[in-house]
Every structure is written in structure tokens, then in C-alpha cells.
A and B are shown apart, each in its own frame.
Chain A
Amino acid sequence: MKSENTALATYEQIHRDLTRTLEPPGRLYYGLLGVVLVVLAWAIFAWIYQLKTGLGVAGLNHPVGWGVYITNFVFWVGIAHSGTLISAVLFLLRCRWRNSIARSAEAMTIFAVMTAGLFPIIHLGRPWYFYQLLPYPQEGQLWVNFRSPLIWDVFAVGTYFIVSVLFFYTGLIPDLGTLRDRTHGWKRKLYGFFACGWQGTNKQWRSYSKVYLLLAGFATPLVVSVHSVVSWDFAVSIMPGWHSTIFAPYFVAGAIHSGLAMVLTLLIPLRRIFELDAYISRRHLEYIAKLMIVTGLILAYSYAAEFFIAWYSDNIFERYTFVYRATGRYAFAFWLMTFFNVAVPLLFFAEKIRTSTVWLFVISLLINIGMWLERLVIIVSSLSRDFLPAAWGSYKPTWVEVSITAGSFAWFLLWFLVFVKLLPIISINEIKEVWSQPGVREKDER
């Protein structure tokens, strides 16, 4: 075990440390896998039940057409965001500390998008016709309506998924070369195939750097656009509480906030289980915590701005919606979300808290809950009390929605478990970059 104060390692040692995760799994892994599979199977059963019976098995109803499913969609897309933020934005900003966490954050991005992508299909009334949302020439000569934000979603989330996968893959290529050189048999063939003939020659490295930079450059506006588009699912509507110009930056900040929380939630146990404290040090976690102070404050501003504008606009519908949000049926969710997302991250101002893994872990969970509730509050409180009082209603999720939501976490974790055993969870070559040779000390960069 490497402790933080003896952060010394050779390249060989780095390699051994970082590929230790790929060793045959133990009981903990299988136990976790079992739980994940059971939950997932139950969720699949719930979904099949919903498919057969109709969407009415969910708690949705006439004023409240969207509920937990869209909450989950926005939540998971949000989770996806900090992967790209860490790997692309921090790369562009030359924050080298990202190297320790970028790989797992990117993996998280992909799996989160894969999870998020399920929900627009699950929430459809007729999911078996989901392909009608895709622009392709077909018998019925249907075409998609590019004016619909849901089609923007298809393009944005679709692009985001493809780009995230490719970005992730690009980052993996040198490591795949390494793995190819250190494995045998089918694994060697598999890694070799995906390594695409990587040798680490200076020309390859040069192209690679350029490509990586370009990809980071592409991914950065993309990540901003994706959650902006997701926010426009709401903001282009005329619903009070949705119809707001601050939604795009507000959602992007929220997405990063929740994504960072999820990174912490995943990394803290990972570094513990695989004894990676030397590579994912408290310093890394502390940096994330500091970032979350920033995103939390942006959220605080956004929440306040929403209320201010509702008051300042003198629009009775808008005003009512926000009064209802803070005092109505879903007020408990609103206050929880405000507390978890805004107040709790302020604890990170205390060094003691932001350097304690226990605190970090607990707070990251709270923020995850808070961010999930934020989406629920936005969706449900607006829909249940919109323009015509006679059409007001309320919403309560059913067991089907709860099961499928639980299943989404299982699905996400399943992929993460597969990833952990298949690929190095920390970029080997990037760690080598930030550790000087020989023998050596981690460079003290930002």
C-alpha cells in the first residue's frame, strides 16, 4: 500500500499499481455484481410490466405528464457532465491533477449517458416506436420535427454519447498498447486490436497530442451545449417555472455539481478498495470539493435568480409557481434540495471537512440526492400547478417508477463494474506524465 507521504514509484510500479484493478475479482466484487444484477432484473420486470400494461402504471397523470423518468434522464445526463468537464475542460486549462481522475470520470460519463438515454425511451407512451424520433427515411415518409427540443435532445445526447465514447477511447489508446504488451492470449489480441498499432513513437505521440487537444476543444462546447439543450426541453416551453432564460447555464452548473458529487461517490470507495491513495490523493478529492463550492454557489445564485425574476416579472403565473415551489406540496423536496445543493457544499470551506474522505463521501451522497430532487421539483411542481387552476393536480411515483429508478443505478454500476475489471481506471500513461523519472515524486503542479 502506498501512503500519500511516500508518493514514490517507478514506472514499473505505477504500472503494477494501476493494473492491479484488472486482476481476477474477489468476493466483494461478485457480491456487488450479484446485487446489481438482481436489482436490474427487477427493474426489467417492472419495465416489461409497464410495456404490457401501459404507462398508466407509473404515477403520471394529466397535468403531470413527466415525473421520475424525466427526472432520471436529466439527472443522469447531469452526472455525465463532469466526466467531460474533468477530462476536457481541465485538460484545456492545463490542470494536470485531472490525470488521476479523468479516466474514471470519462467512464462515468459514458455509463451515465447510457443510463440517461434509456429514460426518454422508457417514458414514451409507445416505446416500441422510439425510432420515429430518429431522422431516417422510412416507409411512412415520416420525418422528425427539428423545431422540437426533444429532437435537439436526440442530436445532442446522441452526439454527446458518440463523442464521449471516442474521447474515452482516444485517451485509452496508449494504455491499450501497454496492456497489449503485458498480456497474453485473447486479451492480448483484444487489447492489440483496439490499440491500433500504438507504439508510442514520437510521431504517434505528436498526432495524439494534437488530436487529444482538438477533441478536448470539441468536447468543451459540446458539453455546454448538451445540458443547455436538456435545459431547453423545459426552457422553450411556456410553463411557469420552466420558461426561463437562465436555464442553460443553471443546468450546466447543476450538471457539473452533481457530476462532481458522483465522481466523489465513486472514487472514494474505489481508491480505498484498490489502494490507490497514492494516485488519487486527498489533494485530488480536495480540488473536487473546492470546485463544488463554486458550482454550489452558482446554483445558489440560480435559485435566487429564479425567485427574484418570478417576483420582479410581476407575472402571476410565475409568481404563483415559485410560491408553490417553496410552500406547496413539494416544498419538502425544494427545501431538501436547497439545503443539500447549496448549504451543505459550503461546509467544504472548512479544510477539515474537505480533506476528510468520510465527510466528502457523505456530502457527495447528499448532493446527489439534492440534485435529483432539484430536477423532480422543477418538473413536478411546475406541471402540477400551471395556468388553469381547474386543471391542477399532483403526482406521486409508483413502485414501477421506483423500481426502474433503482434499476438505472444498477445498470450504471454494472457497467462500471465491468469497466473496472477491463480497463485501467486511472490513465497509466497520464500518471507517468505527471510523475518524474526515475524513481520519483509526483510533480507539484496545481
Chain B
Amino acid sequence: MNDKGIAVIGTFDAVEGVRSAVTALHQSGFKDTTIYSPLNSHEIETELEPVESPIGFLAFGGAAAGAGIGLLLTIGTSIQWPLMTGGQPIISLPPFFVISFELTILFGVLATLLGMFWQIHRSKSDPKFYDSRFSVDRFGVHVVCDEDRVVVVKNLLSTAGAEEVRDERF
């Protein structure tokens, strides 16, 4: 995002409007758009370019770490405490896999969530562009543009069916 610029925010009451607005904006070369939506709309998502997300790697890393910790914990402590039970070997892998499995899931989930918080936080936009209706029944399209193209953007948004269009400086 630019340090200085103008953001134009259009408010829509339906996904269809947002979709046509985004299409129009893209065609006109406005790439820096953010969409606010009260629901997880896959229709909007398809209009936007896919973004590389590191969450998958985080999840995998967490899971792998969990599996490793599980095995280390069980095997390591069993060696520390070589107590025989039921004629089983000190390192009884099948039961240890159970522990390892549970920790795989646990650490995988924890890593995934950490990733999510980080991502939510990272993709947060300035509260002044946000409208509390965006979480209930309105969609928002927020375009950052140069001063001279504000009118074009506003027109594009209105044409697409925006109920209202405003601009904010930052």
C-alpha cells in the first residue's frame, strides 16, 4: 500500500455487485483492491488473484514437530526410566505411536492457528476504511488509487451497483 494516497470505498448489498465491480476494476487496471465481506464468498475469491499462503507449510511443520516431540518424549523418558511392564520392551513403539499421533495433531493445529492469527493481523486494513455494516449485511470494495483517478473508480463502483461510495485519505 502506498504511504500516501486515496482509498475509495464502495458499499454493496449483494455479492453480484461486488463481483462486477471487481471485474471492472481489474479490467481498468486497479489491482490494489480489498474486499470486505460478511460471509466467506467463494464467488469473490475466484475473481481475485490467488495469494501464496505459508499456513500450509506452518501446519506441516507443526505436525512434523509434534510427531518428533512425541517420539522423543516417549522414547527418551522410557530410556531414562527403564521400568519393565508386562514383559514389553522398554521402547514399545506401537503405544508410543499413539502419543506421537496425538501430538502431531496438537502441534499441527497450534501451528495452523498461529499462522491464522498472524495472517488475520497482517491482512487487517486501517479501521477508518472499515464500516461496521461490513460484518452484517454489506459488502465493501476498497480501492487505493491516485488522486486523479478517484472519480473513475467512484464511477466504476457506482455502475457496478454500489449503494454508496466514499473516499478516505490516508
Contact = CB atoms under 8 A, between A and B. Distances in A.
Given A147-B86, A214-B112, A162 B34 contact: no
Interface string A7-37: 0001110010000000000000000000000
A199 B102 contact: no
Given A196-B120, A202-B35, A211 B101 contact: no
Contacts of B113: 166, 170, 211, 215
Interface in B83-126: 83, 85-86, 88, 92, 95-96, 98-99, 101-103, 105-106, 108-110, 112-113, 115-117, 119-125
A204 B123 contact: yes
B123 A135 contact: no
A132 interface: no
B38 A204 contact: no
A432 interface: yes
A142 to B, nearest CB: 9
A323 B51 CA distance: 62
A152 B120 contact: no
Contacts of B99: 146, 151-152, 155
A196 B55 contact: no
A180 B136 CA distance: 11
A174 interface: yes
B116 A156 contact: no
Nearest to B130: A199
Contacts of B35: 201-202
Contacts of A438: 13-14
Interface in A170-209: 170, 173-174, 177-178, 180-182, 196-209
Given A200-B37, A437-B13, A207 B119 contact: yes
A178 B134 CA distance: 8
Contacts of B56: 210, 214
B78 interface: yes
Interface stretch (B24-32, B39-47, B143-151, B152-160): B39-47
Counting chain A CB atoms within 10 Å of each CB, the highest count among B15, B45, B102, B121 belongs to: B102
Counting chain B CB atoms within 10 Å of each CB, the highest count among A15, A156, A163, A437 belongs to: A437
B53 A206 contact: yes
B39 to A, nearest CB: 4
A181 B120 contact: no
Interface stretch (A45-53, A218-226, A302-310): A218-226
A178 B138 CA distance: 11
B40 A15 contact: no
Nearest to B134: A200
A148 B14 CA distance: 56
B80 interface: yes
A218 B112 contact: yes
Nearest to B39: A432
B25 to A, nearest CB: 13
Contact of B137 (A11, A152, A174, A221): A11
A199 B124 contact: yes
Interface string A428-446: 0110110001100000000
A438 B12 CA distance: 11
Given A146-B96, A152-B95, A210-B55, A215 B40 contact: no
B81 A174 contact: no
A206 B98 contact: no
Interface string A135-155: 100000001011111011001
B162 interface: no
Interface string A103-117: 000000000000000
A102 to B, nearest CB: 13
A174 B40 contact: yes
A155 B104 CA distance: 11
A225 B70 CA distance: 15
B124 A197 contact: yes
B105 A203 contact: no
A214 B113 CA distance: 10
B76 to A, nearest CB: 10
A135 B77 contact: yes
Given A147-B95, A155-B103, A156-B102, A199 B134 contact: yes
A211 B112 contact: yes
A245 interface: no
Contact of B101 (A149, A206, A225): A225
Contacts of B2: none
Given A203-B119, A208-B40, 10 more contacts: A11-B136, A12-B137, A143-B80, A155-B99, A181-B132, A201-B36, A202-B36, A221-B105, A222-B102, A432-B38
5 contacts: A163-B105, A197-B124, A206-B45, A207-B53, A229-B102
Q: Which 7 A-B pairs have the closest CB atoms?
A: A11-B137, A203-B123, A207-B119, A181-B132, A432-B39, A211-B116, A155-B102
Interface of A: 10-12, 15, 135, 143, 145-149, 151-152, 155-156, 158-159, 162-163, 166-167, 170, 173-174, 177-178, 180-182, 196-211, 214-215, 218-219, 221-222, 225, 229, 232, 429-430, 432-433, 437-438
